[in-house]
Every structure is written in C-alpha cells, then in structure tokens.
Amino acid sequence: MSSNSLRDADIRYVLHPYTNLAAHEAQGPFMAMRGEGIRVFDENGKDYIEGMAGLWCASLGFSEPRLKEAAMRQFDLLPFFHQFSHKSHEPGILLAQKLIEMAPVPMSHVFFANSGSEANDTVVKIVRYMNNALGRPQKKKIISRQRGYHGVTVAAASLTGLPLNHRNFDLPIEGIRHTSCPHYWRYGQEGESEQQFTDRMAAELEEMILAEGPDTVAAFIAEPIMGAGGVVVPPAGYFPKIQAVLKKYDILMVADEVICGFGRTGKAWGSQTFDIQPDILSCAKALSSAYLPISAVMVNERVYEAVKKGSAEIGAFGHGYTYSGHPIAAAVALETLAIYEERQIFDHVANVGPTMQAALRQLETHPLVGNARGIGLIGALELVADKDHKVPFDPALGVGAQVVARAQDEGLILRSMAGDIVAFSPPLIITESEIEEMMARFNRALSAVTASLAV
C-alpha cells in the first residue's frame, strides 16, 4: 500500500491508545516502516534514533536476527501449546528455570502472561487467592503509589497511581490504596533533607497501614524507578526504610520490574540497584526485547506454598491466559536472555549509562531544565517555567510535547509525560557515539523550542 493510503487507512480504522483522536485525524500517524539497530525509518527513508526503545522495551534494538531465528525454529517445532491443567512444553519450562536462576532474590515459581498489565493483574489475584487459602480473607488490600504505573487492565490500572487511568473508568477497584510518590526534587519540603524526606515517606506508609488496619493490608507494589509517572528515581535508603515497615506488619513487597528488569539500570534488576527484596516480581518488555508479547510473575517459596495449599483446599488457582508461556514468545525470550549474557549487555549499560547521565546532568544549566535525573540507560529532564522556584509551565502550553515534536523533526523519538518531563530510555545496545548523536539531536530540538518560547 502507498504511504498515503496507509495514512488514510490508519485514520479511518485504527483506534490509537493514549491519543487525542480528533488531533490524530488532523495530523495522521508517524509510521515506522523498518528498523535497524537503535533506529527506525519512516516512509521517506528518514532515520530516527529510538530514544525510548519503543515503549521502554526494544532493548536489543530493531533488527536482532537471532530473535527472528529463535522464533522460526519454534514455529517449525511447535507453534502453540499451553500450560493449563498439567500441560507443558520445553521453552516454557526452560524460561521459568532461567528466570528463577536470574532472580534478584531466591524465587520459587514463575507464572507467565502476555503483558505487564496482565502480569500485575495476576499479582492482584495471587495476593487475594493466597490470603483466602491462608484463611485470612480480610488481608487483601494492596498499597501502591501516586504516579506509579502498573498497566491498564482493570486491576493493574487500579494499582496505577495516575488520574488519567482512573478518572473516566470508574477506577480504582476496591482494596487498592495509593501512598506518596518519592520524588524528592518535586515533593521534598523546604529545608527537608533527602533522609528526612525518606523518613517521612516511610512514616506516611506506616500511618496508612495503621489507619487501614495491618491485618487488612496484604502487599505493597512499586517500580524500582517509576517510569510513566516521570522517571522518578527514589532517594537512596527509600526502599530499605519502606521494606522495614512492610516487614513489621507482614506485608508482601512486590517489585514491578516491567521497565527496570533486564539491565535498564545497569544491573539485571532494578531491585539490585535499589536494595529491594521482593516476595513477588513482575517483568515484561525487555524479557523478549519486545519482539513478542510475554511477561512473567515470579513468586517466592512462601507465596508459592500458599497458592499450592489453596489449589488443593479451596479450588485450583482459577487464573491463566490461553497464551500463558506461549512457546514462540518463550523461545524468543530465552534467546534474548542468552544474548544479554553473551554480550554482557547489563555491564554495557553500566559502562555507557554514565555518558547519557552526564549529558542530561549537563543540561541542568539550561534555562528550561529544572531537574535532570536517571541511572543507567533511563533518564529524564523535568522542564519548568521558573527554575529557582520549580514552577511548572502552564499545561496548556504543552512544552514537553513541543520538545518531543521538535526532537522528532531532528530524528529522535522521545516521550513526554506528567508535567513536561521528557524521558530517555534508548535500546540497551546503544553505543557511546550513538548517545552523543542522540543528545546532539535533542539539544537542537531543545534550543529550537527555547527560542520559540523566548525564554
């Protein structure tokens, strides 16, 4: 189909997620036609550095031949089988074993799903089911955080702490609470040190638990670094303090590693970077370098034993997806994990991450940049109207969106989010010189928007 016909058909037939559809009808889609390394190309052959690895996910870039070959081998052998009612298949078994070997803390068993949202919906169900099995049906509430992002299915969207995902959908569901977001730069009080801020976060959590009743709270879920909520990096010491509170009241720690998992922070898991000891861990995205949809939930021995007890005593764990552990997706995930190891991708992130972080920090002298933050190959710039007082821009100006649009003109794909925060999350294979090229394209875009705002 010609690109004009594709454009028309897109407007006519595709209901785009997270999109102002009236504006989309006017402007049409950006169409990626092919990919190579860290770049995608549009219909005119123009190249774009994918500074977000798609949606924080295409970790090995857009042209890894080994992932295609792994998929094709599995297509030939067994394109589909499932995991319900004692059924199994080799890639699903090997992937579960591999994930248990890689886990940041001792884990016991793996449940597969197809997306981060499905994985976190599964977490909600596991938490509810295990407490029914343990004969304490009142202990079911889950505490999440404002600005946390855990997906969009009904339960996962309820865990998510962003108004856009609740407001018009009659969410959250019952039994979900949201505590404060640990964004020190934005929410730290006058004169409050990072340590005092962290103490306040832990004290607020404890107050919430006591107000709810500790015997009603089952779990706490958090991303090591909040992604869609604005790349919020917690202060050092935040998670150990939070976990001390959870331990006191026998509340499970759930790490949502959907973005941080598989090297994004320079270690295999964000849990390792931030000293988190999860009882349950969800992961997706870079598990297959995003080439096929697959996600996983790992549970520790204690959680597994409770689910096992339930399956004998209160009825089988009545949850699972037709495509849980899909063999082709599992084969691609196994190959992805093998490539991470062979090419030492996590060490590569630890090596080149500081180049991206230094370039972002350097921009803190720019008049529009209030705060630069990140670790490894995840980072963000928070743009403000008044740096000294951290005053945000009028949302109607859409400054973050303007910067992202100009970056696209310059051949760089980024995303802006909550409060003019521009995020960076390039493929993990990006090289130092490609980081420099990415930042040069970005700087041109930022300068153009700055000039147009006459700051």
Phi, psi dihedral angles at 253 (to 5 degrees): -100, 125
Contact characters 245-264, ligand PLP, x per CB under 6 A:
-----------x-xx-----
Beta strand 34-36 with 39-41 is antiparallel
Q: Binding segment for ligand PLP among 101-109, 192-200, 221-229, 320-328 (CB under 6 A)?
A: 221-229
* CB 114, min distance to ligand PLP, A: 8
Residue 394: strand, helix, or coil: coil
Q: Is 357 a residue that touches ligand PLP (CB under 6 A)?
A: no
Nearest distance, CB of residue 151 and ligand PLP, angstroms? 3
- Record the tokens describing residue 365, joined without a space: 């002298």
In Å, how far are 60, 193, 268 from 330, measured between CA atoms?
A: 16, 45, 19
> Contact between 234 and ligand PLP (CB under 6 A)?
no
Inter-CA distances, 9 with 1, 6, 115, 387, Å: 10, 5, 27, 44
Residues ≥6 apart with Cβ < 8 Å to 87: 81
Residues 6+ apart with CB under 8 A from 198: 182, 184, 235, 237, 238, 241
Distance, in Å, from the CA atom of 116 to the CA atom of 120, rounded to the nearest integer, reads: 6
Q: Which stretch binds ligand PLP (CB under 6 A): 37-45, 137-145, 223-231, 414-422?
A: 223-231
> Residue 92 or 116: which CB sits closer to ligand PLP?
116
Residue keyed to tokens 């934005």: 186
Structure tokens at 24: 């989309």
3-class DSSP assignment, residue 322: coil
**H/E segment holding residue 18:** none
Q: Which stretch binds ligand PLP (CB under 6 A): 149-157, 359-367, 369-377, 428-436?
A: 149-157
State the minimum distance, in angstroms, from the CB of residue 282 to ligand PLP. Answer: 7
CA–CA dist 123, 299 (Å, integer): 9
**Residues 62, 111, 149, 262: which binds ligand PLP (CB under 6 A)?**
149
Which residue from 222, 228, 255, 377 is in contact with ligand PLP, where contact means CB under 6 A? 228
**What one-character DSSP code corresponds to residue 278?**
-
284 binds ligand PLP (CB under 6 A): yes
Stretch that binds ligand PLP, among 78-86, 147-155, 369-377, 413-421 (CB under 6 A): 147-155
Q: Which of 280, 274, 267, 276 is nearest to 351 (CA)?
A: 267
The reply to whether 121 sits near ligand PLP by the rule CB under 6 A is no
CB of 295 to ligand PLP, least distance (A): 7
Judged by CB under 6 A, the residue of 59, 115, 300, 450 near ligand PLP is 115
Stretch that binds ligand PLP, among 62-70, 88-96, 144-152, 165-173 (CB under 6 A): 144-152
Q: What dihedral do alpha carbons 188, 194, 196, 198 form, nearest 10°?
A: 90
Q: How many CA atoms lie within 13 A of 364 on its CB side?
A: 14
Calpha distance 421→424 (Å, rounded): 10
Residue from 51, 92, 151, 224 touching ligand PLP (CB under 6 A): that is 151
Q: Are strands 280-283 and 252-256 parallel, antiparallel or unpaired?
A: parallel
- Tokens 């992130």, residue? 349
Q: Is 380 in the site for ligand PLP (CB under 6 A)?
A: no
Give the interface size with ligand PLP as a residue count (CB under 6 A): 15
Contacts to ligand PLP from residues 37-56, by CB under 6 A: 55
Tokens of 196: 């005092």
Nearer residue to ligand PLP within complex by CB, 149 or 424: 149
Binding status of residue 289 toward ligand PLP by CB under 6 A: no
Our CB check for ligand PLP shows the closer of 224 and 310 to be 224
As a whole number of Å, the CA-based R_g of the chain is: 22
Among 50, 121, 206, 223, which residue interacts with ligand PLP (rule: CB under 6 A)?
223
- Shortest distance, position 324 Cβ to ligand PLP, whole Å: 15
Tally the C-alpha atoms within 13 A of residue 53's C-alpha that lie toward its C-beta.
26
Q: Indicate whether 227 belongs to the interface with ligand PLP (CB under 6 A).
A: yes
**Least Cβ distance, residue 226 to ligand PLP (angstroms):** 8
At its nearest, how many Å lie between ligand PLP and the CB of residue 12?
A: 25
How far is it, in rounded angstroms, from Cα 85 to Cα 320? 10
Beta carbon of residue 320, minimum distance to ligand PLP (angstroms, whole number): 17
Q: Which residue has the CB atom at the shortest distance from ligand PLP?
A: 116
Which stretch, 109-117, 130-138, 199-207, 424-432, contacts ligand PLP (CB under 6 A)?
109-117
Q: List interacting residues with ligand PLP (CB under 6 A).
A: 55, 115-117, 120, 149-151, 223, 227-228, 256, 258-259, 284
